[in-house]
Amino acid sequence: MACSLLGMVTLAFAPSFPLLLAGAACLGIGSSIFHPESARLARLASGGAHGFAQSFFQVGGNVGSALGPLAAAFVVLPQGRDSLAWFALAALLGMFILVGVGRWYKGVVPSRATKSRTSESHVILAPSQVRRAMAVLIALIFSKFFYLASITSYYIFYLMHRFNLPTETAQIYLFVFLAAGAAGVFIGGPVGDRFGRKKVIWGSILGVLPFTLALPYVGLTATLILGIFIGLILSSAFSAILVYGQELMPGRVGMVSGLFFGLAFGMGGIGAAVLGELADWTSIEFVYRICSFLPMIGLLTAFLPNAEDSPAAICRHR
């Protein structure tokens, strides 16, 4: 949270482009430190409802991301870049909250560790199956976050270029998409707890394909509606993917969380760069036509183990 605070202040007052990049890097470092351990804490506090806990945790970040375009449209654009400094107060508040979380964590970890050693059962899964399943999950993360990069980075420019929308209106459209994504994140975890992670992954990544294929060819109103469905359906997958991976490798929750969050953020950054270069060579409309096929990678879900009849105890590999 301290890195995030420093990043916000640097972004607000950076006098040059290199310092602006440094502020963005501070935000990235803060986020990369925060998310893996926070995901582990969410699982620890879940009471067995692992999907719900991850969704509840992730929805906070998704709501914040959804509010970003509104903050840009109604705070930063009218009042200037230095107004970003006010948002650093949120990071300061987070630091105070984490003091209490740390005290709870210090007291609860020894008893939980003893309980898990004495009571946890194991379902043996061959190492080759674990590796194959992890490879599939990584491919699904690539599909999801590469496509999301096309939205978070270029949706505004797509709307402005294709439909001649003003910047503020395009920001509102992006907010609607991201808000739908936050709702999808919150829904995906509990549904996975109830019906199984693999079913959520199937429905989320492959189920969004008809909507992504249609998006580049419809009018403004249909674009808004399709964006809502895409955000809602596609975003429901990540909490299910994360918990599925954690249950493939029990005892390595922090490592799996770090791997998946790192891939998620990394794919977003790489996707933004690659798609930006592609847009320069072709057009922003061509980028969306190409990206519309990315959810087809969801077909790889068929290679995930079918050990989800008991979703909470999928594959405890030793």
Handedness of CA 211, 215, 218, 219 (dihedral sign): positive
CATH of the domain at 163: 1.20.1250.20
Whole-number pLDDT of residue 110: 62
User: For residue 155, is it within any domain?
Assistant: yes
Residues 109 and 183 in one domain: no
* pLDDT above 60 (res 115): no
The tokens for 15 are 């006098």
Residues 39 and 85 in one domain: yes
Work out the average pLDDT over 73-79. Answer: 81
Chain center to CA of 288: 20
Helices 237-248 and 253-281, packing angle to 10 deg = 140
Residues 34 and 89 in one domain: yes
Q: Which of 46-50, 100-104, 237-241 has the lowest mean pLDDT?
A: 46-50
Q: What is d(CA 13, CA 106) in angstroms, rounded to the nearest whole number?
A: 37
Q: What is d(CA 5, CA 37) in angstroms, rounded to the nearest whole number?
A: 18
User: For residue 75, is it within any domain?
Assistant: no
Work out the average pLDDT over 74-90. Answer: 83
Give 222's contacts (C-beta < 8 A, 6+ positions apart): 214
* pLDDT above 90 (res 286): yes
* pLDDT above 80 (res 306): no
Work out the average pLDDT over 114-122. Answer: 45
Measured at the CA of 173, the angle between CA 167 and CA 178, to 5 degrees, comes to 120
Contact indicator for 117, 182 with CB cutoff of 8 Å = no
* pLDDT above 60 (res 3): yes
> What total number of domains does the chain contain?
2
* pLDDT above 50 (res 148): yes
Q: Which of 69-73, 120-124, 298-302 has the lowest mean pLDDT?
A: 120-124
Mean pLDDT of the chain: 84
User: For residue 205, is it within any domain?
Assistant: yes
- Classify 122 in phi/psi space as left (phi over 0), alpha (psi -120 to 50) or beta: beta
* pLDDT above 50 (res 309): no
User: For residue 20, is it within any domain?
Assistant: yes
Residues 93 and 154 in one domain: no
Residues 94 and 169 in one domain: no
Q: What 8-state DSSP symbol labels residue 82?
A: G
Distances (CA, A) of 86 to 16, 31, 66, 69, 170: 20, 19, 18, 16, 24
* pLDDT above 90 (res 257): no
User: For residue 53, is it within any domain?
Assistant: no
At which of 70, 101, 119 does a domain end? Answer: 119
Whole-number pLDDT of residue 111: 57
Give 74's contacts (C-beta < 8 A, 6+ positions apart): 168
Residues 173 and 217 in one domain: yes
The tokens for 169 are 């209106």
User: For residue 65, is it within any domain?
Assistant: no
Give 305's contacts (C-beta < 8 A, 6+ positions apart): 125, 129, 133, 314, 315
Work out the average pLDDT over 73-80. Answer: 80
Whole-number pLDDT of residue 204: 87
Whole-number pLDDT of residue 230: 94
User: Which tens digit of pLDDT belongs to each residue from 182-241?
Assistant: 888 888 888 888 888 888 888 888 889 999 999 999 999 999 999 999 999 988 888 888
Residues 91 and 34 in one domain: yes
Query: What is the domain range of residue 305?
Result: 121-313
